[in-house]
């Protein structure tokens, strides 16, 4: 399983809806940060699925970043996030 983080500059209902549509079992960390998992993809593909296109070329483009997480993660935060990440990375080395 691959896990990606989506971080937006501002809360965006359009991206929130697209994340829910394409990744129904995502982890909504906040109104502008989401964690998604998929069997196989790329950061470019994930970004386009949720409406992030890199450089903002028109006002409908969303601003944010997408990056892939490693199964070797650590940090501090709400335990439900770490449980979700551990479940997402089960069997991945």
Q: pLDDT tens for residues 3-36?
A: 999 999 888 888 899 999 999 999 999 999 999 9
Backbone angles phi, psi at 14, to 5 degrees: -60, -50
Q: CATH number of the domain that 62 lies in?
A: 3.30.70
- Read off the pLDDT of each residue in 76-88 and give the average, rounded to a whole number: 84
Range of the domain at 6: 2-88
47 falls within a domain: yes
Cβ atoms of 10 and 38 within 8 Å: the answer is no
Q: For position 79, what pLDDT does the model report? A: 85
7 falls within a domain: yes
92 band by pLDDT with thresholds 50, 70 and 90: low
Q: pLDDT tens for residues 56-69?
A: 666 666 788 898 88
Domain count, the chain: 1
Q: What SS3 string covers 31-44?
A: CCEEEEEECCCCHH
Distance CA 17, CA 39 (A): 21
8 falls within a domain: yes
| Residue 93 confidence (pLDDT) above 60 | no
């Amino acid at each position: 399983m691959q896990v990606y983080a989506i971080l937006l500059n501002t809360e965006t209902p359009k991206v929130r809806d697209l994340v829910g549509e394409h990744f129904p079992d995502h982890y909504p960390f906040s109104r502008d940060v989401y964690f998604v998992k998929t069997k196989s993809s790329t950061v470019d593909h994930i970004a386009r699925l949720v409406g992030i296109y890199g450089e903002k070329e028109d006002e409908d483009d969303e601003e944010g970043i997408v990056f892939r997480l490693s199964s070797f993660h650590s940090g501090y935060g709400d335990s439900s996030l770490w449980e979700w990440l551990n479940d997402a990375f089960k069997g991945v080395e």
